[in-house]
Structure 1
Amino acid sequence: MKIGQMFMVGFRGTAVDASHWIVKDIVRRHLGGVILFDRNVDGSVQNISSPAQLQVLTTTLQEYGNGRLLIGVDQEGGRVCRLKARDGFPETVSAEMLAGFDDEKAAATADELAATLAAYGFTMNFAPVVDLDCNPDNPIISRYQRSFSGDPQQVVRCARLVIEAHHRHGIGCCLKHFPGHGSAGADSHLGFVDVTGDWQEQELVPFARLIDMDAADAVMTAHIVNRRLDPRGMVATLSRPIITGLLRQRLGFDGVVISDDLQMGAITKKWGFSEAVRRAVLAGVDLLVIGNNLACSRDALQVGIGCIQKMLDSGEIDADYIKASLARISTLQLQTTEKIVSDQGHHIFARS
């Protein structure tokens, strides 16, 4: 089994060749995807500096990935935007601003963003945010205008337009942050966040509606604690009652479940990396994200693969469990890479 397919890893560098460690992970360890950032947390350039540079980078990555590599980015629009106007890319608007547009203008705006991603070789956008804007003091959602609205129906309207625009260009979308980060009063990038006292049942509505519409390619988990959904107080990303019980069984989601970055403070301050991988897999997460933006670990994929292999060898999980995750990831790869690779003129033919 190609366990490396269950990981999406970030790296530092605006160009790669056969000697770069991320390329070795793609070729030797069958890495499932990469996530690109414009800047590191210290402000230095990570992966994206100009349109021409980005075009070469994604083309090269896809060549090493045999046309099957997921290439992801956080391009929500507004403040959360990795392809920035200052680097030569089109301007974008925030989710909050887009929600003020009528359907025609919102669809056109979303289409421009999606077309840009397609033109530069991305296959996956970690958007839209479908968290409700239910706490004006939320330091990571409301403050950055990342939510469409506090009204679930308005969130569904806007999210559907955004997803449809991406699908027209062959790009997959990821609903986030399940089961709802909008009510949080702290930032899970930095540490422990408990929404038990503030979370509302209606925060599930956008996820449920979009899943029912078959509009959700993937769902990203939140690094938040919600004891109303898991009385043990386990972070949602690592919670089987939330991921398998609620998302899979109650809401009927059968697509790819993606973790938020496992290097975020809410995870790293309590669990070691291997334990976080173990718990996420047991919870039901398919694709594990290691951003290498907050920190950089070149051996994370090798360690992660070893952790899952150990779980298999010990009988903690069986092969069919992992094969089911790999099948979901493969379906997403096929859906998103075929059009992007062909439209961009990479002249890559996916090989199994």
Structure 2
Amino acid sequence: MIKALLIVFLATVCSFAQTYSKNEVEKMIAKMVILGFNGTSIDKNSQIYKDVEFGLGGVILFDKDPNDKTKVKNIESKAQLKKLNQQLQNISNRKLLISVDQEGGVVQRLKSDMGFVNTLKASEIALKDEDFAKQTYQNLAKDLSSVGINLDFAPVVDLAINKDNKVVVTRGRSFGEDSKVVTKYASIFVDELQKEGVLSTLKHFPGHGSSLADSHLGFVDISNTWSKKELEPYKYFIKNNKVDIIMTAHVFNENLDKKYPATLSYNVNTKLLREDLGYKGVLITDDLQMSAISKHYDLKETLTLAINSGVNFLLFANQLAKPVSLDEIIKTVYAQILNKQIPLQKIVDSNKKIDELLNKL
């Protein structure tokens, strides 16, 4: 039995070793990861420095340490943040994605007391005219580019369907219930980011605006509340070729997939988004440490299901749970490739999509 397993293992290794070395495969896996880390400055001894040097795809920055809100995590001032991002970007000749959640309202990591502009929440922007929205998002985009941030996890294109929705609607993160209004204002947001060389992210696919629960806190079932009209903003942006990245939602809908939440669902991410809606670009997970995922799946299951579902970027914000290291992610995915649980082609295809995305910068 052991001998037979060894033969299978060696055959698997040989099958792609002819094309890629172990180190090359590990670097391709690293490119698919966006990681959160602690620190307002770095040096060559910092783990994040070593991760970027190896081939990490990107980082995500936060202002506060979630375990102690009095402590700074990455962002304390404009000058400090610009220096940090320059340090990160200079580690390698490759373009590093430096990302942040900067929507406006309650979700903005770059605060006015640090010298950044304060941006109104989406629900308030939608009450203003287009010129106001354009000026608002132009200011936001300039703030991002001025400190070296090249990826914003915004805009939210969820429809405000459920007025009691605690994660999106009551927090004013949606532009409204009407998809035409949402696409109009989200489109302005995307355009202004693009002008400043900042990539945008449409979120949260296939729609989080009808949910009753918060996927940060646990399982979210939208089977009885979700409707196909929540896909309309995605259809608009895909049709008009205005998408940089789409982010998945950790929501479960038995009408789309009887077993898995959207982030881990082949039915949602490949059949619906890629085949039915025709999306060819980069798909990123929402934070894989949110309770909707982490309380129900271990790291191996999460990584395997996410990659096989059609996801290209794996986001570990290291905010909500015990930090996950790049090394741990790489080793887990590599072992699953050897075990034939993840096709190597999925890794290769994701790297091609990521390279195409980076060419926009």
Q: Which amino acid aligns with 2:43?
A: D
Q: Which residue of 2 aligns with 1:211?
A: 238
Runs of 5+ unmatched residues, structure 1:
337-352
Give the C-alpha shift of residue 56 in structure 1. 0.5
Q: Which residue of 2 aligns with 1:201?
A: 228
Q: Which amino acid aligns with 1:46?
A: K
Map residues 175-190 of structure 1 onto 2, 5 A cutoff: 175-190=202-217
Q: Which moved more, 1:200-209 or 1:37-46?
A: 37-46
Q: Which amino acid aligns with 1:127?
A: A
Map residues 295-306 of structure 1 onto 2, 5 A cutoff: 295-297=321-323, 299-306=324-331
Q: Which residue of 2 aligns with 1:167?
A: 194
Count of aligned pairs between the two proteins = 333
Within the candidate set 91, 94, 112, 2:121 is matched to 94
The question of 1:133 aligning with 2:136 is answered: no
The question of 1:235 aligning with 2:261 is answered: yes
Indicate if the aligned counterparts of 1:132 and 1:182 stay in contact, CA closer than 8 A.
yes
Give the C-alpha shift of residue 277 in structure 1. 0.8
| CA distance in 1 between partners of 2:211 and 2:74 (Å) | 30
Q: Which residue of 2 aligns with 1:156?
A: 183
User: TM-score, normalised to structure 2's length?
Assistant: 0.90
Map residues 263-342 of structure 1 onto 2, 5 A cutoff: 263-297=289-323, 299-336=324-361
Runs of 5+ unmatched residues, structure 2:
1-24
Q: Which residue of 1 aligns with 2:85?
A: 58
Q: Which residue of 1 aligns with 2:22?
A: none
SS at match of 1:122: coil
| CA distance in 1 between partners of 2:210 and 2:76 (Å) | 34
The question of 1:69 aligning with 2:79 is answered: no
The question of 1:248 aligning with 2:278 is answered: no
> 1:14-58 deviations in whole A, cap 9, x for unaligned?
111111111111112x10000000112231211000111101100
Query: Which structure 1 residue ranges, 4+ long, deviate > 2 Å from structure 2?
Result: 314-321
User: TM-score, normalised to structure 1's length?
Assistant: 0.92
The question of 1:114 aligning with 2:134 is answered: no
| CA distance in 1 between partners of 2:356 and 2:162 (Å) | 36
| CA distance in 2 between partners of 1:117 and 1:51 (Å) | 10
Give the C-alpha shift of residue 143 in structure 1. 1.6
Indicate if the aligned counterparts of 2:62 and 2:75 stay in contact, CA closer than 8 A.
yes
SS at match of 1:172: coil
SS at match of 1:64: coil
| CA distance in 1 between partners of 2:300 and 2:64 (Å) | 26
Give the C-alpha shift of residue 99 in structure 1. 1.1
> 1:312-344 deviations in whole A, cap 9, x for unaligned?
2123333322111001111222312xxxxxxxx
Within the candidate set 250, 266, 277, 1:223 is matched to 250
Indicate if the aligned counterparts of 2:307 and 2:346 stay in contact, CA closer than 8 A.
no
> 1:84-127 deviations in whole A, cap 9, x for unaligned?
01222111111111112222221111111011100010110000
Q: Percent same amino acid among aligned pairs?
A: 42
Q: Which amino acid aligns with 1:226?
A: N
Q: Which residue of 2 aligns with 1:344?
A: none
SS at match of 1:335: coil
Q: Which residue of 1 aligns with 2:284?
A: 258
| CA distance in 1 between partners of 2:342 and 2:89 (Å) | 31
Which has the greater radius of gyration? 2
Indicate if the aligned counterparts of 1:217 and 1:332 stay in contact, CA closer than 8 A.
yes
Indicate if the aligned counterparts of 1:40 and 1:294 stay in contact, CA closer than 8 A.
no
Indicate if the aligned counterparts of 1:179 and 1:204 stay in contact, CA closer than 8 A.
yes
| CA distance in 2 between partners of 1:56 and 1:295 (Å) | 28
Q: Which residue of 1 aligns with 2:19?
A: none
Give the C-alpha shift of residue 130 in structure 1. 0.2
